[in-house]
Amino acid sequence: MNTRAEEYAGLSVALTTPFRNGQVDYPALQAQVDFQVEAGATCVCPVGTTGESPTLSHEEHERVVKAVVEAAAGRVKVMAGSGSNSTEEALRLTRWAAKSGSDAALVVAPYYNKPNQDGILAHFKALAEAVDIPICVYNIPGRTAKNIEPETILRMAEMPNIKMVKEATGSMDQASQILAGSDLTVLSGDDSLTLPLLAIGGRGVISVVGNIFPKDVIAMISAFEAGDMQAARRWHHKLFPLCREMLGLSTNPIPIKAAMKVLGRDTGELRMPLTPLSADQEASLRATLAAYGAC
């Protein structure tokens, strides 16, 4: 398949940022990267939504990116989150991603200030011209309050350095329009929609569930790539209740951090204003994980 960033096909994992007593837990972060390398992930994505980037200081953000690059040590690709609603700040973060040795930058649409489509295009153009590493456009209007319209993404595709889209609109029509009109590599931003997106030409997922079950997500993608739709659907149907029941409990990354705590892989600690699951929600989570066969 002729896609612009085929080397990012497969599973990329939106890493959580582990905390212990209010500080970033760097040994736990190293263990997370090792876990993904051993599972066979294509790429890890630190300091995105799942990585609680809004509550990391600038110094922490930069140190986490550097720590993940060092932990990866070339064994797995690193796509660092570097978006902001300020173009100047996004430029600084994206330049840092490149300087630190990240393989690519994951750039969310400018949020809160709601620029028009020309403003969004100008924002990404400034970033694409500032660095040599590939840029993945992260479109998640549920978080940013502004959709990057497919026509705008097709205009972005004229920039050689914009190579990927993390598609989290939930719209197969929008994804289809991008896939039909460009050679951009489209990655799912919703775990539950990975298989449908693959079916229309998507090349993988930037996954939350992959933090705990990377091999299962890889198995689903591999089955699809091998043309075994029956196996791919079987994996999708196994993963789907987990996506729906676990990730639907509360705002990401609250449920995934709680699941990692249950599985002994994280303290579960969050930064305010995010707060832990209630006792009832945690009981529901444990039941979902047990039904999945995880505990």
Catalytic residue among 66, 146, 163, 166: 166
Residues forming beta bridges with residue 77, ordered by sequence position: 43
Annotation says 166 is catalytic: yes
Backbone angles phi, psi at 252, to 5 degrees: -60, 135
Tens digits of residue pLDDT in 128-171: 999 999 999 999 999 999 999 999 999 999 999 999 999 999 99
CB 33 within 8 A of CB 76: yes
pTM: 0.97
Catalytic residue among 8, 138, 163, 292: 138
CB 107 within 8 A of CB 134: no
- How long, in residues, is the chain? 295
- The residue ranking higher by pLDDT, 1 or 129, is 129
Tens digits of residue pLDDT in 48-69: 999 999 999 999 999 999 999 9
Give the three-class secondary structure for 13.
strand
Q: CA 53, CA 238: separation in Å to the nearest integer?
A: 30
Q: Structural domains in the chain?
A: 7-227 (3.20.20.70)
CB 229 within 8 A of CB 36: no
Per-residue confidence (pLDDT) for residue 1, from 0 to 100: 54
Q: How far apart are the first and last CA of the chain?
A: 39
